[in-house]
Each structure stands twice: as C-alpha cells, then as structure tokens.
Amino acid sequence: MTAAPDIFAPRGKPLPQPARVTQVIDSVTFSVALYAVIIGVILYVSYTGAQAMGYNWQWYRIPQYFYTVTEDGFQWGEIAFGLVKTLQLSATAFALATLLGLLVALMRLSGLLIVGAVSVGFLELIRNIPLLVLLYLFYYVLGPVFGFDRYTASVLCLAVFHSVLISEIFRAGIEAVAKGQWEAATSIGMTRGQAYRYIILPQSIRFMLPPMTGEVVHMVKSSAIVSVIAVAELTTIGRNIISDTYMSFEIWFTIAAVYMVVTLILSVGVSMVEKRYAVSQ
Amino acid sequence: MKITRRFLGAAMAAAIGASASMPAFAQSATQGLSSESVIEAIKERGALKIGLSLFKPWSMRDLNGDLIGFELDVGRQLAEDMGVEVEFIPTSWDGIIPALVAGNFDVIISGMTVTPQRNLTVNFSTPYAYSGMTILANTAMTEGFTLADYNSEEITFAARRGATPATVIAEMFPKATLLLFDEDGAATQEVLNGNAHATMASEPGPSEDARDNPETLSVPFNQAFKAGGEGFAMRKGDPDALAFFNSWITARTNTGWLKERHDYWFRGAEWKDQVAQ
C-alpha cells in the first residue's frame, strides 16, 4: 500500500471570480435592502390608497367574533366556531381522501388491465373537472339522488377531488422505492401484499411526507369553497358577518389571517416531523 | 436550516399581512374628506352613479338586456330631480360595500334593510320602501306548523345572503338555522329539494313558486311580515348627502310617488311580460 500524496494539487485553472456586479447582487446586504424597499413600496401604496378611500376602519369590532367575556363567562365567537368547523371538515375529508387515494394508487399499480384502466379513468375524470363544478354535481345532482345532506356532500366532494391528487403522490412515492427492494422481497418468498406492508410502504412514506404536507394545506384552503352551498365553516361565517355588518375589509383580512396561521402551523409542524423521520432513517 | 427558512418565509408573509392592515392609521383622513360632499361631486360630474345588485323585482334585466325594476325607477327619478344623468353599476352582493367605499359609485340603492349593525359601517337614509315578506314552505316538512313552531332549532331556513328576507328571518326566528346562498334561486331550490323547511320573499314571488310546484311548496300564512325598511346606503362622514337623500325620500313619500312605484313592481303583474320567466 502506498500512501496517498499529502497535498492535493488540482490541475487546470481556478474558476474565475464572479463579476463585481454579480457579487453585490448576491450579497446578503443587497437582498435585505431590496426586500425592505419592496415591502416599503407595498406599505406606502396601501397606506396612501387607504387614505384616498377615507375608509373608517373598525378593527375594535373584530375581537367579539373570536370570543366574548360576559357575565356568563368566556364564550367562543363565530370565527372560532367557524375555524373548528373548517378543521373538522378538512380532517374528515383528508382522512377519506387518503384512504381513497391509496386505493386508487394501488389499483393503478396492480398491473391488472381493467383495474388499472378504471383507476386512470377515475383520475382523469376528477382531475379535469373544476372543484366548484364538482361540488355542484355532488350537492345538486348526486345529493338528491343518494340523499346526502350538505355536509356529507362537501366532505365527499373534497375527499374525491383530493384523493386523485393524493393517489399521484402515493404512486410517485411507491415508484421511487428502488426496484431491488421488490426483487429482494420476492426472493425471500414474500407475497405482493407482504412486500407492500413490510418493505415498500414504510420506505415510500419518506418520499410522500413533503408533498402530503402540501396537500393538507391545500385541503384546508379548498374547503373554503363549500361556502357556496352554505355549509357552516370559516369562509361562510366571514361572509355572513359581512352581510350583517358590512365590514368587508376588516373581516376578509381577519379570515385570511386565520387561514394563514392555521396553514403555517401545519407546515411548521410537519417539517418538524419530517426532520425527525430523516434522523431515524 | 429548513425550519429557519420556513420561519423566514412566515416572517415575510406576516410583514406583507401587516402592510395590508396598515390603513388602520388612515382614519384621520376621513375628516378631511367629509368636507367634500358627494352631492358636489355628482353636480360637477353631471351624473349620479348608483350601485345595485340584481334582485327581482327590485332590479332585473328585461328581454332586451336593459335594467328595469323598482330601484331603477327610484334612481332615474332621483337623477332627474337633481338635473343630472344617471348611471347604474350592477355589482355582485359580496363586492358592493368595498366598491362603495372605493368610490366606484355615489350611493347604493339595492333593497338594503336598515339594521343597527350595518348602520355602524355605512350611513342609511330614511326608508324608501317597506317590504312585506311571506313564508314559502315545503308542505310535507311543515305539516300542521303554527308560526311559533318555526322558531325551533330543528327548523332550517334558506335565504339569499344580504337580502331583506335574511334579516327578517334572523329577527323573527332566532332559534332556527339560517342558511345563506348567493342567489334567490338557490334558496328556493333548497326548500324544493327538502334541504330546508322554508324561505321568505316578498310577494308575489312565494305565491308564484307555490303555484308552479303545488305538490311540494305552499304559502302557509296569509300574512306579510315586515322588516324595518330599506334605505339608500352611502359612505360615512357625508352629512350633506344624508340630508339630501332623506329630504328627497320624504318628499317623494308624501306625494305618494314611492308607494305608487312600489305597488307597481311588488303587487302588479303588468311588467311580467317584459322579463324572461
């Protein structure tokens, strides 16, 4: 064994220094300054715009819609109630969408001609209908036929719409597991089901987790659409408060902020889970 | 590292959100603007801009696509009395208040019921109409109901968001569930499909719906329920405009002109052949 040379001497010329302009543009100082300028312009424009409108802002009327403290004690307000309903609706629909999505993905990967075709047909059908039209179909057409109430119709509509997106996430995750894993599983005598259960799905979860987070956030946001069929949830509550008080500006900013807080908490939470999962791998 | 970036993203999003809420500091500007009344702006412009959202028989399109209805008569007469042109700006219900605030029109004449909560945000003129509402019910679901039976947690009402019936239902039947839809048609459809027990509307609407669907729909009470009245809505901080519109409405009420036009659109059927059914 001969020892490697102590000093690694690269051959060829070093990379040229980037141009002075590029260096300035890439610097942290420049980025922060640019950010400050852009935000400053947005602030200035919205401030002057609001002044020109002369709108009488009534932010002090907003907290009562979150909670009130009366002689009877603490009471949750309408927005808090709507938020709970939104979370409940999204969670139910997401659970259902995951099950349905897994089924569609497995059908598609089954290798059986008819089953695969059914799955692709379902996928293309749902993916090419706008969510609003799908909701009207579920509520006004399928609702009376199968006797759904508005809540069931919304849960089913959201679940079906998201199941096709989730099924593609599952498919990508499963296909991302190296082919050798399948061969290894088969060679030790595992059936297809066992291979999925013990070898493939546990590994593919790592690939699925990041896009699934996006899907959860997407679900919370698209649940707002059920306000058109008067299901009680955050957006519906917001619109109802506006029709009672005419405070369009304050209420819409508030509702948007509530959605943002929820989805940010979800993303941060899941990214922590992701990190933990990565360590244990 | 990933988390840090996400937090940075959150901070940036929060900053943008805060920038949107900044106009809160603009309140003091209102006083400066209030000295310039919208009445002056209308006279200078030579045109009165009226915002409305289409809603039978208050305002609707006839077979040629022209706007007709009670609000249109009121708006045209108002402009004529002021000696200016009139311009109607149909706006969806959700956008009508922001558009008023942004100055897209001078006044809203769109069957807006005066309520204290709304009055805290916009100014209302004295009422120019008092609409009577009747209940349109799903016959099978409300078999043998008295009026008091409707005020129960098990009862579901449907109505158009923002319209007078929604206000009357909330007032008369506080215990019942009230579902709000974007169109009148959707509210009636709910009752027809049995997803809601009843809705409310100004006559002759309910009687016609009941006649068209005699097996499912009926008008259970031969009685009209009244709301507080409908007023013009305008921006806050303009006492001149409020005074002018109030005087105009008082004068036109006293001469009986408003009642005559109201009866024409709400009781008569002469205009029916002008619109698509």
On the question of pLDDT at A29 being above 80, the answer is: yes
Q: What is the pLDDT of residue B108?
A: 94
Secondary structure of chain B in the HEC alphabet?
CHHHHHHHHHHHHHHHHHHHHHHHHHHHHHHHHHCCCHHHHHHHHCEEEEEECCECCCEEECCCCCEECHHHHHHHHHHHHHCCEEEEEECCHHHHHHHHHCCCCCEEEEEEECCHHHHCCCEECCCCECCEEEEEEECCCCCCCCHHHHCCCCCEEEEECCCHHHHHHHHHCCCCEEEEECCHHHHHHHHHCCCCCEEEEECCHHHHHHHHCCCCEECCCCCCEECCCEEEEECCCCHHHHHHHHHHHHHHHHCCHHHHHHHHHHCCCCCHHHCCC
Q: What is the pLDDT of residue A221?
A: 92
Q: What is the pLDDT of residue A207?
A: 84
User: How many other C-beta atoms are found inside a 10 Å radius of the C-beta of residue B116?
Assistant: 8
Question: Hey, what are B70's tokens?
Answer: 């009670």
Q: How large is the average pLDDT for residues B5-19?
A: 65
Using CB atoms, pick whichever of A242, A253, A274 lies closest to residue B20: A253
Find out whether the peptide bond into B165 is cis, omega within 30 degrees of 0: no
Q: What is the pLDDT of residue B267?
A: 77
CB–CB of B13/A256 below 8 Å? Answer: no
DSSP state of A147: T
Dist. CA A96–CA A92, nearest whole Å? 6
User: pLDDT averaged over chain B?
Assistant: 84
Q: Which helix (H) or strand (E) holds A276?
A: helix A248-280
Using CB atoms, pick whichever of B121, B166, B233 lies closest to residue A245: B121
3 state DSSP class of A57: coil
Ordered by start, the domain boundaries in chain A are 76-280
Residue A93: CB partners within 8 Å, gap ≥ 6?
A154, A155, A158, A159, A162, A219, A223
For residue A98, give the nearest of A225, A264, A211 by alpha carbon. A211
3 state DSSP class of A73: strand
Q: What is the pLDDT of residue B156?
A: 92
User: A268 and B19 in contact by Cβ < 8 A?
Assistant: no
Q: What spatial distance separates the first Cα and last Cα of chain B, rounded to whole Å?
A: 63
Q: What is the pLDDT of residue B98?
A: 86
Dist. CA B15–CA B247, nearest whole Å? 47
User: pLDDT averaged over chain A?
Assistant: 87
Q: What is the pLDDT of residue B15?
A: 64
Question: Hey, what are B138's tokens?
Answer: 């799903």
Q: A265 vs chain B: nearest CA distance in angstroms?
A: 10
Query: pLDDT band at residue B116, thresholds of 50, 70 and 90?
Result: confident
Q: How large is the average pLDDT for residues B223-243?
A: 85
Dump pLDDT digits (tens) for B65-97: 889 999 999 999 999 999 999 999 998 888 888
Q: What is the pLDDT of residue A281?
A: 47
Q: What is the pLDDT of residue B19?
A: 57
Q: B270 vs chain A: nearest CA distance in angstroms?
A: 32
3 state DSSP class of A76: strand
Which chain A residues have a beta carbon less than 8 Å from that of B233?
A: 246
Question: Hey, what are B223's tokens?
Answer: 């009685």
User: B3 and A271 in contact by Cβ < 8 A?
Assistant: yes
Question: What domains can be seen in chain B, in order of their start residue?
Answer: 35-130+228-270 (3.40.190.10), 132-226 (3.40.190.10)
- In degrees and rounded to multiples of 5, residue A81 shows phi and psi of -60, -45
Q: How large is the average pLDDT for residues B120-141?
A: 88
As a whole-number percent, the residues of chain B with pLDDT over 70 amount to 86
As a whole-number percent, the residues of chain A with pLDDT over 70 amount to 96
Interface probe for B, chosen from A246, A249, A265, A266 (most Cβ of B below 10 Å), is A246
Q: How large is the average pLDDT for residues A261-275?
A: 86
User: A57 and B102 in contact by Cβ < 8 A?
Assistant: no
Q: What is the pLDDT of residue A279?
A: 46
Question: Hey, what are B116's tokens?
Answer: 């204290």
Q: How large is the average pLDDT for residues B196-202?
A: 88
A-B C-beta contacts closer than 8 Å: 124
Dump pLDDT digits (tens) for A58-115: 888 888 898 888 888 888 889 999 999 999 999 999 999 999 999 999 898 888 889 9
Q: What is the CATH number of domain A76-280?
A: 1.10.3720.10
Q: A135 vs chain B: nearest CA distance in angstroms?
A: 14
